[in-house]
C-alpha cells in the first residue's frame, strides 16, 4: 500500500517506543471474563417491549441473548445474535452502542448507566468463535448463483445469508484482503489481533462462498457481464472517492485523506515505522476524523486538533467518541471552516474562518485564524465513484428500495454505496441481510 502522506520535515516515524505503541493501541474495551459477563447480565431488566431491540438496526433479541448469558449458555446467546447479525463480533466492537441500544436501555434512563450490551455481545460471539463453532448449516443447493461485488460488511452479510439459503455465491473485491471497512477503515484499537480477518474466515465456514480478490467494478468487472453470467447481482462497493477541501493550497505535501492513513495504520506490521507529524490537524466531524486524530496522538504527535465547520453538537461522531478524543489530548475546535493551506511546498499552517450556522445554512464570519500544522488530514466525507450506467442515483448514492432493489432488474445494492440508511457497519449488515432475503424470494419465484 502506498504511503498515506508524502513525507515532510515534520513527519517522522519512531516518535514512540515499540512498547509504548503496543500499550497505546491495546484493546479499547477489554473483553469480559465469564464472571464479569455474569455480573453485567444480571443488570438487565429483560423488558418485554425492550427499547434496546427497537434501537438495534439488525433487530437482535437483546433481552434473550443476555438471559442466555445469565443462564450460562453463551454459545446459544451467540446464535441468537448471529441469526440477525452475522458480523455480530465486529459490531460488538465498533457499533456506536452509546447512541443505539445502550442509549435506549431502561437502566440508562433510570440510572445513567446502561447495561453494557456491546461488551456482552462480544463475550457471547467470541466464546462461540473461539471454539471454532459455526452455528448455521447450508441448505440444499438451489442451483442458482449470485455475484456480490464488495467484501465489506454489506457484501459479506448478503453472501452468508444467500449461501445459507443454498445459493452459490461469488464475492468480488478490489482489494487484496476481504473485510472492507472492517479490515481497512476502523481504528486499530477498536479491532485488535486481526479480528476482522478471523471473522471473515469464520463466516466462510458456511460453505458455498468463493472470494475473488483484485476485481474492481468498472475495470476487471462489468455489471452487464455479471448480470448475464449470474442469476442476481448485489452491489456493496462502498464509497471510494474523497471529498475535496475546496481550499487553496490543499495540494501541498503533508495533506492527505484520513481514510488512507487509517488503512495504512491498520495494515502495517510495525507501527514504529509509520510516520506522523508533530502538529496534526484533522478537518471533519465524523468517526473517521476522530479515529485519525486519536491514532495520530497514539503514534506520538505532540499537538492534534480536530476542526469542524459546525457546532460540536452537530458532529457525526458520538459524544463518547468526542470524549475519547479529548481524553487522549485531542483538541476540538468547532464552527470553523478551512480557507487555505499555507507553506513552502509542504503544509506549515492551515487558515480557518469562523462560521455561524442556522439550520442547514452555514456562513463565514470573516474572522480568521491559523493553526500550525506539518500534517493535515481530510475527513470530510467520501463519494461514490464508478457507478455503472442504468442505475438511478439518490443524493449521490445508488437508489434502492426498502429491500435493496435498484432500478436495474436483477440488481440489488446495500451498504455505504446505497441510499438506504446510516453509514454504519451494523446498518450495512442489516441491508445485506435484507437484500439477500429479497434476492432469495425473487430467485425462488
Q: Give the CATH number for residue 291.
A: 3.50.50.60
Q: What total number of domains does the chain contain?
A: 3
Is residue 10 included in any domain, yes or no?
A: no
C-alpha cell of 200?
A: 471473515
Map grid coordinates 492551515 to a residue: 350
Distance CA(223)–CA(150), nearest Å, equals 13
The phi, psi pair for 145, rounded to 5°, reads -125, 145
The predicted model gives 331-354 an average pLDDT of: 97
| Residue 11 falls inside a structural domain | no
pLDDT > 50? residue 3 = no
Statement: residue 8 has pLDDT above 80: no
- The domain boundary, picked from 329, 361, 378, lies at 378
Q: Does residue 22 surpass a pLDDT of 90?
A: yes
Phi then psi for 222, rounded to 5 degrees? -120, 130
d(CA 433, CA 58): 9
The mean per-residue pLDDT over the stretch 11-33 comes to 94
- Shared domain for 424 and 439, answered yes or no, is yes
pLDDT tens for residues 203-239? Answer: 999 999 999 999 999 999 999 999 999 999 999 999 9
In this prediction, residue 333 carries a pLDDT of 98
What pLDDT does 321 receive?
96
The pLDDT of residue 7: 55
Do 209 and 196 share a structural domain? yes
Domain that holds residue 110: 34-130
162 within a domain of the structure (yes/no): yes
Distance from the Cα of residue 166 to its chain's centroid: 28
Confirm if 264 and 12 have CB atoms less than 8 A apart. Answer: no
Do 165 and 221 share a structural domain? Answer: yes
In tens, the pLDDT along 105-140 reads: 999 999 999 999 999 999 999 999 999 999 999 999
Least confident span in 22-31, 32-41, 57-66, 204-213 = 22-31
Tell me the pLDDT tens digit for each residue of 257-270.
999 999 999 999 89
Mean pLDDT across the chain: 95
pLDDT at 5 over 50: no
| Alpha carbons 86 and 152: distance in angstroms, whole number | 12
- Same domain, yes or no: 252 and 362: yes
Q: Are residues 123 and 225 in the same domain?
A: no
Name 376's bridge partners: 255, 281
186-212: burial string, b at 16+ Cβ within 10 Å, e else: bbbbbbeeebbeebbebbbebebbebe
The reported pLDDT for the residue numbered 6 is 45
Within a domain: residue 214? yes
Q: 344 — phi, psi (to 5°)? A: -100, 80
* 359-382 residue pLDDT tens: 889 999 999 999 999 999 999 999
Given this model, what pLDDT does residue 422 score? 79
Q: Looking at the domain assignment, is residue 13 inside a domain?
A: no
CATH number for the domain spanning 48: value is 1.10.1060.10
Longest CA span, the chain: 67
The per-residue pLDDT for range 53-69, each reduced to its tens digit, is: 999 999 999 999 999 99
**Same domain membership, residue 268 and residue 374:** yes
How many other C-beta atoms lie within 10 A of the C-beta of residue 36?
A: 15
N- to C-terminal Cα separation, the chain: 45
Q: With helix as H, strand as E and coil as C, how does the chain read?
A: CCCCCCCCCCCECCCCCHHHHHHHCCCCCCCCCHHHHHHHHCCCCCCCCCHHHHHCCCCCCHHHHHHHHHCCCHHHHHHHHHCCCCCHHHHHHHCCHHHCHHHHCHHHHHHCCCCCHHHHHHHHHHHHHHCCCCCCCCCCCCCCEEEEECCCHHHHHHHHHHHHCCCEEEEEECCCCCCCHHHHCCCCCCCCCCHHHHHHHHHHHHCCEEEEECCCECCCECHHHHHHHCCEEEECCCCCEECCCCCECCCCECEEEHHHHHHHHHHCCCHHHCCECCEEEEECCCHHHHHHHHHHHHHCCCEEEEECCCCHHHCCCCHHHHHHHHHCCCEEECCEEEEEEECCCECCEEEEEEEEEECCEEEEEEEEEEEECCEEEECCCEECCCCCCCCCEECCEECCCCCCECCCCCEEECHHHECCCCCCHHHHHHHHHHHHHHHHHHHCC
Q: Which of 333, 358, 378 is the last residue of a domain?
A: 378
pLDDT of residue 9: 76
pLDDT in tens, 82-96: 999 999 999 999 999
Asked whether residue 107 falls in the same domain as residue 53, the answer is: yes
Is 135 within a domain?
A: no
Whether 228 and 282 share a structural domain: no
Q: Grade residue 1 by pLDDT with cuts at 50, 70 and 90.
A: very low
Quick check: is 281 in a domain? yes
| Residue with the three cell numbers 477489554 | 30
Residue 8 placed within a domain: no
Same domain, 252 and 372: yes
Q: Determine the pLDDT at residue 4.
A: 45
Same domain, yes or no: 225 and 260: no
Strand 209-213, strand 336-342: pairing = unpaired
Q: Within this chain, do residues 84 and 158 fall inside the same structural domain, yes or no?
A: no
Q: What is the pTM of this model?
A: 0.94
Same domain as 209, residue 101: no
pLDDT average, residue stretch 421-432: 92
Last residue of a domain, one of 330, 360, 378: 378
| Nearest in space to 57 (alpha carbons), one of 442, 329, 432, 429 | 429
Amino acid at each position: 500500500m502506498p504511503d498515506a502522506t508524502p513525507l515532510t520535515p515534520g513527519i517522522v516515524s519512531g516518535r514512540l517506543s515499540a512498547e509504548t505503541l503496543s500499550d497505546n493501541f491495546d484493546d479499547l474495551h477489554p473483553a469480559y471474563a465469564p464472571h464479569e459477563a455474569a455480573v453485567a447480565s444480571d443488570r438487565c431488566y429483560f423488558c418485554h417491549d425492550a427499547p434496546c431491540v427497537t434501537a438495534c438496526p439488525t433487530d437482535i433479541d437483546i433481552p434473550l441473548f443476555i438471559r442466555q448469558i445469565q443462564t450460562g449458555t453463551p454459545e446459544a446467546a451467540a446464535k441468537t445474535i448471529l441469526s440477525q447479525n452475522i458480523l455480530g463480533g465486529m459490531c460488538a466492537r465498533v457499533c456506536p452502542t452509546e447512541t443505539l441500544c445502550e442509549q435506549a436501555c431502561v437502566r440508562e434512563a433510570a440510572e445513567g448507566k446502561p447495561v453494557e450490551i456491546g461488551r456482552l455481545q462480544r463475550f457471547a460471539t467470541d466464546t462461540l468463535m473461539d471454539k471454532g463453532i459455526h452455528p448455521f448449516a447450508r441448505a440444499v443447493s438451489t442451483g442458482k448463483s449470485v455475484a456480490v461485488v464488495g467484501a465489506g460488511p454489506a457484501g459479506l452479510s448478503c453472501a452468508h445469508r444467500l449461501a445459507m439459503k443454498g445459493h452459490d455465491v461469488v464475492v468480488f473485491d478490489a482489494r487484496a484482503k476481504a473485510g472492507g471497512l472492517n479490515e481497512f477503515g476502523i481504528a486499530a484499537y477498536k479491532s485488535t489481533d486481526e479480528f476482522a480477518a478471523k471473522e471473515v474466515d469464520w463466516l466462510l465456514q458456511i460453505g458455498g462462498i468463493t472470494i475473488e480478490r483484485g476485481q474492481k467494478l468498472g475495470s476487471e468487472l462489468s455489471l452487464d457481464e455479471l448480470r448475464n453470467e449470474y442469476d442476481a447481482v448485489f452491489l456493496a462497493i462502498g464509497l471510494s472517492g474523497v471529498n475535496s477541501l475546496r481550499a487553496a493550497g490543499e495540494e501541498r505535501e503533508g495533506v492527505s485523506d484520513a481514510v488512507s492513513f487509517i488503512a495504512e495504520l491498520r495494515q502495517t506490521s510495525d507501527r514504529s515505522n509509520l510516520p506522523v507529524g508533530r502538529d496534526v490537524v484533522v478537518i471533519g466531524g465524523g468517526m473517521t476524523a476522530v479515529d485519525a486524530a486519536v491514532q495520530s496522538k497514539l503514534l506520538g504527535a505532540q499537538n492534534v486538533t480536530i476542526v469542524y465547520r459546525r457546532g460540536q453538537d452537530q458532529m457525526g461522531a458520538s459524544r463518547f467518541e468526542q470524549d475519547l478524543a479529548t481524553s487522549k489530548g485531542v483538541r476540538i475546535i468547532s464552527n470553523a471552516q478551512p480557507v487555505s493551506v499555507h507553506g513552502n511546498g509542504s503544509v506549515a499552517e492551515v487558515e480557518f474562518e469562523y462560521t455561524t450556522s442556522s439550520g442547514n445554512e452555514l456562513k463565514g464570519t470573516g474572522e480568521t485564524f491559523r493553526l500550525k500544522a506539518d500534517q493535515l488530514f481530510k475527513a470530510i466525507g467520501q463519494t461514490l465513484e464508478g457507478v455503472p450506467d442504468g442505475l438511478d442515483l439518490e443524493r449521490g448514492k445508488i437508489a434502492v428500495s426498502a429491500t435493496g432493489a435498484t432500478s436495474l432488474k436483477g440488481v440489488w445494492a446495500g451498504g455505504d454505496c446505497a441510499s438506504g440508511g446510516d453509514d454504519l457497519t451494523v446498518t450495512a449488515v442489516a441491508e445485506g441481510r435484507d437484500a439477500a432475503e429479497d434476492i432469495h424470494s425473487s430467485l425462488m419465484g
